Each structure stands twice: as structure tokens, then as C-alpha cells.
Amino acid sequence: MEWLSPGYLLFMMLFAGLRETDRRLTRRIAACATPGVHRTLSAVEECAQSTKLWCGAAVVMAAAGGRRGRRAAGAGLVALGVAQLAANGLCKRLADRPRPPKEWIPHDEVEDRPDSSSFPSGHTAAAAAFTAAVLPAWPAAGVLCAVPAALVSLERVQSGAHYPSDVAAGAVIGLAAAWLVRRQRANWVS
């Protein structure tokens, strides 16, 4: 094993640590939800399915918020689209990571998960992108969006659809998409 560099060995140790942390957190989160919490998380996820929650929020913002609401809704939807393209159109195709093992999840919701790659969480990418893009344009609406965005992210692990690292990667993709949209918008205004 002389050919293994110290950097490679460190990377492999960190990767093994991440896998173990993912395993422990996934099992703990999936097991700890009470029936009421489980129902709430499932309802939020159902609303967020196919970006319905975020599109509905954009309609409400555009209708009730005047110019600021339309600007926030537009930024949120564009960022959501960029995040979905990156997460589901690119990253899931490159990273063919299996979903968490069914035996780790002590409830039947695990049977209702997609067959696509686990990495990254597209739901989380969309939620983070929409929320982070809305926040600068209309802070109050952004703060309100942060609550269901956090619940969606938690639900993705609790249901057995994703590992915590999938959710973290989805959040990073969403934040990057919002940043790109904000930066591009600043260039258009200049």
C-alpha cells in the first residue's frame, strides 16, 4: 500500500466518516417522528411534490405583494428552475447513489419513494432555491417560506428518501441557484 498518498487516505477516512454519520442520522431521524409529526411532514412533502407549494406561494406573492411580490415570486421561480435543472437534470444522472436501505426505516412511507438516485435531494434544492431567492426581494415572505422549506428537508430524511448528505447537497445547490439568479438580476439592472 505504499502507492496510497496521505491525501487519498485522509479523503477515504473522511468519506467513511460521512457514510457512518449518514447512516446514524438517517436511522435516528426516521425512527424518532411521532405519528403527528410524521403526518405533518408527509402533508408538507405532498404539497411540495412537483413544486406545487412553491408555485402556489409565488402566485400568492404576485397577487398580494404588488411589485415587490411579483419580483420576489419571479426570482423564486427562476432560482427554483435553475436548482431543479442542476439537481435533477445533471447531478442525479452523474451520481447514481442508491436510496437508504428500507430496513433502516421503521414505517411504511419508505415504500413510496422514487427509484431515481438519492443524491442530491431535488425537493431540498427547490425549497432552498425558492426561499433564498425570495428572501432578499421580500424578507417577510422569505422567512415564511423558510418554515416549509426546513420541513421538506427534514421529511426527505425522515421518510427514507434521502440521506442527510443528500439534503445538504440539495440545499447547497439551491443556495447557489438563488445566488446566481440574484447576481444575474443585478447585472440586468446595472
Residue 169's pLDDT is 97
Q: Which residues contact 174 (CB under 8 A, 6 or more apart)?
A: 79, 83, 87, 124, 125, 126, 127, 128, 129, 130, 131, 132
Bond prior to 120 in cis (omega within 30° of 0): yes
pLDDT-derived band at 38 (thresholds 50, 70, 90) equals: confident
pLDDT-derived band at 2 (thresholds 50, 70, 90) equals: low
Question: What is the mean pLDDT of the segment spanning 150-158?
Answer: 93
pLDDT-derived band at 42 (thresholds 50, 70, 90) equals: confident
Mean pLDDT for the chain overall = 89
Q: How far apart are CA 87 and CA 85, in angstroms?
A: 6
Q: What residue type is assigned to position 182 of the chain?
A: R
- Are the CB atoms for 159 and 167 separated by under 8 Å? no
What pTM did the predictor assign? 0.88
Residue 130's pLDDT is 98
Question: What is the mean pLDDT of the segment spanning 29-58?
Answer: 86
Rg (CA), the chain: 18
